[in-house]
Structure 1
Amino acid sequence: MSIRSMVRRLGAGDVKSGSRRHVAARITGMLASLCGAALLLSACSPRNAAVGDTAGHSGDGTVVVHDSIDKGDVSVGLIGSDDAALDRTVLAALSGSGLNVSYVSTSQVRNPLDAAQQGAKDLAAQPVSVILITRIDADTAADAHSWDEALGAVRNAGIPVALINPRTPPRDATLCAAQLNTAGDIGEGTAKNNHENDHDDKSKTAPIKTVPIAQAVMALVNDVPHGRMITVNTAAQTTANTVGQ
């Protein structure tokens, strides 16, 4: 019922009985409730930052204190891709680390893109703590727009998003809290380390520091400071440590 219709319904009977103050009080109460609901919705999505990536501070520079969530209370929504092997590996690592996972498969459907985006919207309406999306591809303008819409629904629900080995991530940085790159996807845990002072033209490699994927996920859920690009491994992890940078 709209406020206008409420005014009409209340005013017709109550004004005749002389209880205008009662009408005004009830309308004021309704307005307060609506304002409160609007504030709650706006609080779900931080300004100029992704959910799960506020780095411990609000927009005005004050420190935001977050209550840590126990791993047993965390529910992960995992949206799959055409890379079934990656999906299985991530699913096993998260489940083996004691996290509850809801998996949305898109490997054997008519339209994988629609299935993935609808999966994100559906999970946004569920009590999940974080949503992970594997191999997202927002390459074309149409795909980018539809992904912005789907991830916008997740953001408005106050749920952090992480992209695992994305092909083409969305341009809007506020739609995802971090990009999780598995070590194997960037060269089995090694990367070329270019030294300006080396003149032998030989490529050198250095180990890349990785963290268990469950540890990275917990950092997003608890909104602790972390890097936007996190190199993860898919080993099961049973401790409750978080990652920061």
Structure 2
Amino acid sequence: MAEAARPRALFLAGLAAVYVAAFGSLYVQIPGLYGREGILPARKVLRLSGKGLWEQLRDFPTLLWLSPRLGLDTEQGMELLCLVGILASFGALVCDSMRDCLVFALLRVLYLSLYQVGQVFLYFQWDSLLLETGFLAVLVAPLRLLRRGSPSWRPHDPVTFWGVRWLLFRLMFASGVVKLSSRCPTWWGLTALTYHYETQCIPTPVAWFAHQLPVWFQKLSVVATYVIEVAVPVLFFAPLRRLRLFAFYCQ
């Protein structure tokens, strides 16, 4: 594989893995969250108004409007979209030829369709981040499925891939700046990590051990967080490859 194509290939494969996790984790939760007896039944979001299909898609873009035409209710339609998403994203993960812009366009449409009816359970930062990253993947991925037998194309487009760098820069830089601009005394006083590990929304297996580390190490970790999130992202755009690699390993 040409070295120039490696970043794009890793980005697309990694995003495919994220899609597998996103669709898979949502699939098993649909009955409890969005079923008829669920917490927020999805069928209440998609109320038939007598409008035509195209008008419905224009006002509220989601493929779930097609569920009645397939003889499915909204919950079953969501499960179908998740299954299709799992299969397509897993194919893109394990098969290089499946990392095509059409496949990633399908994955984004599927997740957007679920996002539209997901209500508060799909309104987190990572959901909107996945939609934005998924849109960039459509631009970054090559068009292979419709170009079999055609002349070879450049394996890496630096123009579109700049969008990925810019997204990563915005994500990390904003994450650091918002900590400072919030004027939270724990972040300014370097004490935020003394209790972060026991209050994070999804604790990791090593969180308990991290919480036991001495206070001086926790404060040093906050300083490192500022450096990694505020100072280092500028190096994403450095002209020297070694500086960009340094920024990569820091992240």
TM-score by length of 1: 0.24
Q: Please state which structure has a larger fraction of its residues in strand.
A: 1
TM-score by length of 2: 0.24
Choose between structure 1 and 2 for higher RCO, CA contacts under 8 A separated by at least 6 residues.
1
Structure having the larger proportion of residues in helix: 2
Whose radius of gyration is greater, 1 or 2? Answer: 1
